[in-house]
Structure 1
């Protein structure tokens, strides 16, 4: 999830653990702890694109990280804070650390919660930024913050924030199931035989959903709004995996394929190859758009090793939001 959401979650968890003992400091340390797992993004400044992608939401988003570093930070904070209970501070950091990747596991990217095992949890029921999750949560947190440390209302508001946000996550699971069923029914109605299907919510909402459908030589992309009145239509994107040729055996290429969970296409423009990660869809709702959220230029360096460079085309947030709003309202 986005940084603000993780700050709110961390602060609420910190309050739940130590709020009645240290007041707003519990929220402060919880908020700080809630952002620490995302420091893995700094890896992009010190390593190549493929390695950085593999590391993202890896070790720092694992139970191992939470278990190892929570007591260290708990001990450190207890050294200079008036409240000296190392166990209490350690529990605060542990729960702030571990709830961060648990929440991230509901997004498309997912998390390696059980690192070092190669298992990425990605339930794909919520977009990385979702106001319906964050805003009510933030309102309850602010209300709790304004109460005295021992006030019953403080605990009530904080618990309500946790309950409402968690309940929304549960609702998104049912919404995903409902959307998946609609895509499945459309495929059956249109007599489309497919290998597998992957669904996820569109940006900023859980009303509009996207689907990737794998068939023999292509991927079918489609969207569905719960407000739609017209049948679902599928746009075909050729896999073109054969364009990789011998590059398919390169270690970096294999890593990218692994990162994409095999949801990728290859396109060729002016004798240059591009790797398109389909898990995050398109930046446009226009038919046959080639404006993928994550697209990488494939190049071979002087030593014969394959390198990937992210391609960031012209992005117009205002246009995208307008298209998204129009599509969300139904076809």
Structure 2
């Protein structure tokens, strides 16, 4: 993978599991890496899909610091900010991004939606998270 930029940030509650983003001309690749991993990071592909934007929102692009995708769900467009991670992204492919912003007036839904980085956490999830940190 030939990337033009890379960003890493620690996953919730620790400094041993890292969320990694690789940026290319037309896409991003995200993955999670533990300091205990014995194999390479497995990256997931996310197209930028910036062509879906009529006009970039300057305050959103500044906040995203260049790390964003545009997605379409039904007839709604969303501006997804990658820098803040994914909900259970360390555990599942195609996990939703923590911060998304609806780009059309969706009946009052015109604020940044924080989907909840810790949504769905329970004893089983915490155990799986600790196992992932351990490189399993």
**TM-score scaled by length of structure 2:** 0.84
Corresponding residue of 2:115: 312
2:94 is the counterpart of 1:289: yes
Q: Can you list the C-alpha shifts for 1:110-141, whole angstroms capped at 9, x where unaligned?
A: xxxxxxxxxxxxxxxxxxxxxxxxxxxxxxxx
- Structure richer in helix, relative to its length: 1
Aligned pair partner of 1:226 in 6, 30, 35? 35
Change (3 A) 1:330 1:321: same
Q: Is the 8 A contact 2:98 2:114 kept in 1?
A: no
Q: Which residue of 1 aligns with 2:50?
A: 241
Q: C-alpha distance in 2, partners of 1:233/1:259? A: 27
Task: Measure, in 2, the Cα distance between the counterparts of 1:330 and 1:295.
Answer: 29
Which runs of 4 or more aligned residues in structure 1 lie more than 6 Å from their structure 2 counterparts after TM superposition? none
SS at match of 1:227: coil
Task: Tell me the CA shift for residue 288 of structure 1.
Answer: 2.6
**Which residue among 57, 70, 82 is the counterpart of 1:278?**
82
Question: Aligned partners of 1:194, 1:320: CA distance in 2, in Å?
Answer: 32
Matched with 2:70 is: 266
Q: Which residue of 2 aligns with 1:300?
A: 105
Runs (5+) with no aligned partner, structure 1: 1-191, 302-306
Residues 299 and 308 in structure 1, CA contact (< 8 A), matched pair in contact too: no
RMSD: 2.2
For the 8 Å contact 1:213–1:220, the answer to whether it is kept is: yes
TM-superposed deviation, 1:311: 5.3
- TM-score normalised to the size of structure 1? 0.37
Following TM superposition, by how much is the alpha carbon of 1:308 offset from its aligned partner in structure 2, in angstroms? 3.5
Structure with greater strand percent: 2
Aligned length: 131
Indicate whether 1:324 and 2:99 are aligned. no
Greater relative CO, 1 or 2 (CA 8 Å, sep 6+): 2
Q: Larger Cα Rg: Structure 1 or Structure 2?
A: 1
**Which residue is equivalent to 2:2?**
193
